[in-house]
Chain A
Amino acid sequence: EDKVVQSPLSLVVHEGDTVTLNCSYEVTNFRSLLWYKQEKKAPTFLFMLTSSGIEKKSGRLSSILDKKELFSILNITATQTGDSAVYLCAVVTSGSARQLTFGSGTQLTVLP
């Protein structure tokens, strides 16, 4: 059975702090790993990672994948209150359909 585990489950920081969110996985036929941000409603897409060691970056957010050790991290620097959300990691496996297996998410709270 495919499994995706995120840690920590929740995190409280102050504005300006840097945070690292973790995602480890055990799946058959790995194809890609996706990060989403969910603020109450629809998850919004952040990054897709397919190759090891290549960092994806967007502003203060960055992510990297390690396919040998089967994990990914999402970094947020200089956090802001608007970064408060649940961050979801999902793994896509090869097959006839692009099915996603999600982790349970990390609840990030950024205090002013």
Chain B
Amino acid sequence: DGGITQSPKYLFRKEGQNVTLSCEQNLNHDAMYWYRQDPGQGLRLIYYSQIVNDFQKGDIAEGYSVSREKKESFPLTVTSAQKNPTAFYLCASSIGDQDTQYFGPGTRLTVL
């Protein structure tokens, strides 16, 4: 089955620790995206990548980092520099020149 997978589903982190969220897709999509969702708010774009080995900052990139070494994978690292990392993180992908993005199931990160 084609789709987007994210792991883990739930993640707990102590303050000061870096954590990496996984996002994998087997849809052969060129573009991949990371969003953050806070309660009562819409999704905000963290980073996106249109091709392998290239990515751009979104609206709220500070305290996050990404890599795109393979077309299928777009991991997100939440660093200790992110002041308020507790949130629901969603990964999405799309065919390069099309508007519709398809989402993974999300990772809920809680900082203790």
CB of A62 closer than 8 Å to a CB of B:
no
Which among A32, A41, A104 is the interface contact of B99 at CB below 8 angstroms? A32
Q: Is the CB of A97 within 8 A of B99?
A: no
Q: Which residues of B contact A36 (CB under 8 A)?
A: 103
Q: How far is the CA of A42 from the CA of B93 in the complex (A)?
A: 12
Q: How far is the CA of A51 from the CA of B4 in the complex (A)?
A: 29
Interface size on A, residues (CB 8 A): 24
Q: Which residues of A contact B31 (CB under 8 A)?
A: 97-98
Q: How far is the CA of A76 from the CA of B109 in the complex (A)?
A: 33
Q: How far is the CA of A81 from the CA of B96 in the complex (A)?
A: 36
Q: Is the CB of B99 within 8 A of A42?
A: no
CB of A100 closer than 8 Å to a CB of B:
yes
Q: Is the CB of A99 within 8 A of B42?
A: no
* CB contact list, A24-50 vs B, under 8 A: 31-32, 34, 36, 41-45, 48
- Count of A-B residue pairs with CB < 8 Å: 56
CB of B48 closer than 8 Å to a CB of A:
yes
Interface size on B, residues (CB 8 A): 25
Q: Is the CB of B101 within 8 A of A88?
A: no
Q: Chain A contact residues: over half helix, strand or loop, or mixed? A: strand
Q: Is the CB of A92 within 8 A of B106?
A: no
CB of B86 closer than 8 Å to a CB of A:
no
Given contacts A41-B106, A42-B106, contact A88 B42 (CB under 8 A): yes
Q: Which residues of B contact A92 (CB under 8 A)?
A: 99
Q: How does the 8 Å CB contact mask read for B68-106 relative to A, with 1 for contact and 0 for none?
A: 000000000000000000000010001001111111111
Q: Is the CB of B99 within 8 A of A105?
A: no
A-B contact pairs, 5 of them (CB 8 A): A32-B99, A41-B105, A42-B103, A42-B105, A102-B43
CB-based closest 8 A-B pairs: A102-B42, A42-B103, A92-B99, A102-B43, A104-B42, A32-B99, A41-B105, A42-B105
- Interface contacts beyond A9-B40, A100-B101, A103-B42: sample of 6 additional A-B pairs, CB < 8 Å, sorted by A: A34-B100, A42-B105, A44-B103, A98-B94, A99-B48, A102-B44
